[in-house]
Structure 1
Amino acid sequence: MDEAVLRHLQRVPNLEQVVVRKNDGIKEKLDILLSKCEQTPANIVLMAENDGIQKLLTVVEIMKRKHPSHQQFNKLTYREKAREVSVPQDELRLQKPMKLPILYIYLHIGTDDSKTIDMDELKSQLADANWSCQSGPK
């Protein structure tokens, strides 16, 4: 995970980091995440690149249904990758690198326990760092 992106979450206690890949099993990933949520509040940051983003979204939506008291923050970034030439006619496309998307989702699951984390301050910090806030049901 990109340390520059996670720098804004450094003061979050007991932050768990989980990478979701396109070949991961949803059930296995959910079992891991649900075990991390046994003690609330739970703080989890999930990350997926390119083809794994759809699986990440599926896992997060299931997690949110199982834990309705949550707060979600999202950050979309990109990683540049040089294009590979397969035939000589493609040489002109080499000048422009591909941008591969990377999605980070931070989930705070549980109550707003002010003893462990000041959510208003965290929201402000994340908003300043271009994270979007997506709150759960009240």
Structure 2
Amino acid sequence: MIDRNIIGKENEPEYHEVEKGAIRKFATAIEDDNPVYHNEEYAKQKGYPSLLAPLTFPTTFRGKIQEWFKNLDKNRLLHGEQEYHYERRFYAGERIKLVEKVADVYEKKGKNGMMTFIIRDREGYDEADKKLFTERSTFIVREDKRT
């Protein structure tokens, strides 16, 4: 059972520098050869100020692990889904402020027992404090059948 009091818990903002090398490396890892992710001159010709970050690039932003996540049994943890909503794409050279909070916790009975769903939202802001994106992730914690 996950404590529902984690709903609404928000972390202190964390800041992430978006680097050209990180964009290229990520695009290569996801096997996306679009030149706007690899060639800065090409990206500028297309009207971007620098290399464009791929849509799922925010998954690379790692920061302080939140207390609620530390307490989960990782052997029973599944990644449910992840979605992104963008207000504006971002580029190499930008500094992103990232704020994370737990949006919801609920349980469902599945064919293999109870499952707890944790919905986490992460919002990214530019240096003018304008929202760039919202990332929503669903974590599923399977019931511990040993108890």
TM over 0.5: no
TM-score, normalised to structure 1, is 0.32
Structure with the largest fraction of strand? 2
Structure with the largest fraction of helix? 1
TM-score, normalised to structure 2, is 0.30
